[in-house]
Structure 1
């Protein structure tokens, strides 16, 4: 399984199991935070399996079905086969067209006519110059990069799109923002959306699992967030650590936290916890 790359849907699937195990009493708060952080930065399915291998399925918990990775049903293989077939057909068409063109030239060429016209001083008109083809420029798709101006733009876009600054969880990543958006109604429901400069809905409405509480995006001090990202890289003792993500979350009766995670290519990680306003509450450096 380790040879398959993990997708966002895979990470969400394993995070739901970790959170359900936390609610079931199998994990403590610190262990839950650590596993969720590593699941969000996992690059392969084998890494995700390792994080949940020792967990029991909580009573009543039904894990979402894993997507099929069978090579026999791989769409890329069928696309390759179709491409080969199309290539062979095009080759045959080109060969037939070439032969037909040669035969046509041989049939319609009349020896001497062009030579006599030239000897009498009659010049043939030059071929018209074709106008340059005008190619319409395709505008580039919107993109997101983790920076203070783009985070502020995301907050404005969120309020415009959903009419609120409340969410159940917000994850800031280097190239996107993932949000659990509350769904209006009498029961706690949420939808997962992604922002990459434009909105994409990742899931339909589902039940809010665990004791999630709503957080306020308007309370985030964006400037202090980036100050704390720099501090996390300096102080969490992760060799050549890079920012992997930050989570704005409120769990049960605990206050809202903005947790900043740093990791490296060796799956070593640590995180710094702050208030939305940027006050550092605790650090969890990497422990070998």
Structure 2
């Protein structure tokens, strides 16, 4: 059998197949190929060909095609696509022709930065898309730049979409109520009351500025502070996923009370909801940040540069979530340097190493 014939045609699930692949997706595909080779499902030449192509695959569809004809090897979970962005994330948003704000461009830049860090984009692609983001005029222009990412940039909600259909006609009508009453010989026909008499200006008071400390969230101390603030804000430590960057965090929050719902939040010294609530699989486990051993996390962070063999590297971001294959809580520490050399380590919340992906492998 020709090795090229092993790449199966795209399934009808085109939206999922067009999603960008992360480094972790490539690693999982190659792990499956390794196990299939050991079982004799693939010959040496075909195994090496598929493994090489998995290492350079750009989309989930390309990775899926490389493993679609394999039997799940013993002890290794079969291939499963990462969850697609919920179609509901477009519900209630402004039409594409609406003009974009600087805030909308910032959200797109951040989504592109995350995609660069986890291997969905090359340095050149990231640079090009970043430049296009700066030039984007409309929300449609911005949406097109991240629509193939596993986590597209959120779009602002149109407040007009919350109006009930039966009352929609009322929103566009101008209602003028003329109040006619004789009060002391004055006929009121105003839409608002007359202005109040001026009052004396308050005496200026010296106010000390409020400074909100934002620690480096990619350190053990920063995570510990973030977790405390998270608990104080929401009353628990349950999340679907949290991505920690030095100066901010992105949170997909779910709760035990509503395990089939997830809401997106940003943290920059305070928590801000960034999108409407969407649906998740209710049987998917929920990550409890309280189970993260802070001392073990600090040790993992301190060892991550050496483990990943990234010369002059530093921790770029940390992702805590539920592994889509094993359904086990996982901490992934990503390391990079100015030459875009990257690696990552995965561990349990207790600090036990699961996988190391050093630069060059």
TM-score, normalising length: structure 1: 0.55
Deviations 1:157-213 (A, max 9, x none): 222222222111111211122211016776722111122322122222123389964
Name structure 1 gaps, 5 residues minimum.
1-15, 51-63, 70-132
CA spacing shift, 1:212–1:285, aligned 2, 3 Å:
farther
Kindly indicate whether the alpha-carbon contact (under 8 Å) linking 1:39 and 1:48 is maintained by their aligned counterparts in 2. Answer: no
How do 1:1-288 and structure 2 match up within 5 A?
A: 17-18=19-20, 22=60, 25=64, 38-39=117-118, 46-47=125-126, 65-67=140-142, 136-146=207-217, 147-182=219-254, 188-208=260-280, 213-254=285-326, 255-287=328-360
CA spacing shift, 1:278–1:186, aligned 2, 3 Å:
closer
Kindly indicate whether the alpha-carbon contact (under 8 Å) linking 1:144 and 1:196 is maintained by their aligned counterparts in 2. Answer: no
CA distance in 2, matches of 1:140, 1:267: 34
User: Match of 1:76?
Assistant: none
Q: How many residues align?
A: 196
Aligned-pair RMSD on alpha carbons? 4.3
Kindly indicate whether the alpha-carbon contact (under 8 Å) linking 1:246 and 1:258 is maintained by their aligned counterparts in 2. Answer: yes
Kindly indicate whether the alpha-carbon contact (under 8 Å) linking 1:19 and 1:210 is maintained by their aligned counterparts in 2. Answer: no
TM-score, normalising length: structure 2: 0.45
CA distance in 1, matches of 2:80, 2:360: 13
Deviations 1:207-263 (A, max 9, x none): 338996421111101111111111111121112111011111113451211111101
Structure showing greater radius of gyration is 1
Kindly indicate whether the alpha-carbon contact (under 8 Å) linking 1:271 and 1:283 is maintained by their aligned counterparts in 2. Answer: yes
CA distance in 2, matches of 1:174, 1:168: 20
CA distance in 2, matches of 1:236, 1:265: 15
CA distance in 2, matches of 1:224, 1:187: 28
SS of the counterpart of 1:227?
helix
Kindly indicate whether the alpha-carbon contact (under 8 Å) linking 2:307 and 2:345 is maintained by their aligned counterparts in 1. Answer: no
CA distance in 1, matches of 2:258, 2:268: 30
SS of the counterpart of 1:149?
helix
CA distance in 2, matches of 1:19, 1:204: 26
CA distance in 1, matches of 2:323, 2:60: 11
CA distance in 2, matches of 1:31, 1:237: 29
CA distance in 1, matches of 2:259, 2:215: 33
CA distance in 2, matches of 1:37, 1:213: 27
CA spacing shift, 1:183–1:276, aligned 2, 3 Å:
closer
CA distance in 2, matches of 1:269, 1:192: 27
CA spacing shift, 1:44–1:253, aligned 2, 3 Å:
closer
CA distance in 1, matches of 2:116, 2:281: 17
